[in-house]
Amino acid sequence: MTTTKPVLCRTRPTRSGHKIGVLTLNAEAAMNAVDLTMVNMIDRQLQRWQDDSRVVAVVMRGAGDKAFCAGGDIRKLYDSMTQQGKKQYQYADDFFRGEYSKNYRVHLFNKPLIAWGNGFVMGGGLGLFVGASHRVGTESLKLAWPEVRIGLFPDVAASWYLSRLPYPVGHWMALSGSHMNAVDCKSLKLTQYSLRHDQYESLLKQLRSAPWGTNRAENHRTVRGLLRAMEPDVDADSAAAGGFAGSQLAPATEALNEMFSSPELDDIAVRFDQYKGDNAWLRQGIDHFRRGCPATARLIMEQLRRGAQMSLREVVQWELVLAWQAVRHPDFAEGIRAMVIDKDFRPRWQHASVADVPEHWTDALMTSPWKASEHPLADL
């Protein structure tokens, strides 16, 4: 019996005698959601390619046409959180520790790493995607941090990235879980290039024909030039150039600025309730917030406040504390139950609204169970 590998790792020869690595997340039926096995496989392979002088660049993509990666395998996390006995939380703890440390190392990969952002790029998948040095968004890109809907928090360094987006975009993305398309992602520098999905094979062909050498800075320059030359004529003002949808953010900017005119979450929630406009993207995001986890919303505000003052390394270490606490607080398991397990879409959160979340609850979510020297990622 043949077992399909959840991560496919292959190399393609180039005309210059070098190799291009191609790493494919191969869990198409689950929209390439990653589990601990996949995280470890990705990390080992990138380390091999980092050390292999013949490999000059790597392409990272998801199998199929629907997703690069829709996040972590939250069913396995739910099983871990609801398991009885000594093994309760063990897988969840191992997963988050492995995911955070190994996705951080993606940022340290110093050869050109091209992430092909087609379809859904969300949650843990976004944490993997955003660490790549060359990020491509296709016409079907739907990039989001949707954790507010399941009672987790925007993780895998989201505290760092979201806090550095122009205000109030990062807060909106985190509180609403709204999808961002390719045009808006490029304008926000979450991606650097916009290519059509049907250009993927052409990209591989051109990478194999490119003039590679041993100078990594030159190789990065080669990739930048190649990707820019391949881009269709797409910008934020063109509604359908190259098959890309126009900006969702630009028509909503004035309303967002009004809703976030106060930095206080209680005021933002009131402004959301007062919105009477007809922008479908805004209305959907507000609905996600209303149905989302109130404690997550409270935590998000603190994430973005603290994350703006932290280094990327510090953010990754701090978010592991939040994850450790999240799996031991009831909202996360309840969110997965409602959205994925039972699919009744009626989570019973611990608090009825953001106004009902006491300060001691969010303080507990941010309290480290370890001394600084004992932190699992102290040596990151």
Cβ contact 105:113 at 8 Å = no
State the burial class of residue 246 (Cβ atoms within 10 Å of its Cβ: 0-12, 13-18, 19+).
middle
- Residue 1 domain flag: no
The model's confidence at residue 333, banded by pLDDT at 50, 70 and 90, is very high
Q: What is the chain's length?
A: 380
How far is Cα 148 from Cα 363, in angstroms, rounded to an integer?
Answer: 18
- pLDDT higher than threshold 60 for residue 199: yes
- Residue 2 domain flag: no
**DSSP letter string, 181-197:** -HHHHHHTTS-SEE--G
pLDDT, tens only, 14-45 = 999 999 999 999 999 999 999 999 999 999 99
pLDDT, tens only, 110-120 = 999 999 999 99
- Residue 231 domain flag: yes
- Residue 76 domain flag: yes
Cβ contact 281:256 at 8 Å = no
Domain assignment of residue 175, given as a range: 7-374
pLDDT value for 4: 84
- Could you tell me the CATH number of the domain that includes residue 242? 3.90.226.10
When divided into structural domains, the chain yields a total of 1
pLDDT value for 239: 45
The model's confidence at residue 243, banded by pLDDT at 50, 70 and 90, is confident
Backbone angles phi, psi at 143, to 5 degrees: -100, 130
- pLDDT higher than threshold 60 for residue 252: yes
Task: Give the predicted TM-score (pTM) of the model.
Answer: 0.95
- pLDDT higher than threshold 80 for residue 51: yes
- Residue 379 domain flag: no
pLDDT value for 234: 55
pLDDT, tens only, 343-375 = 999 999 999 999 999 999 999 999 999 999 999
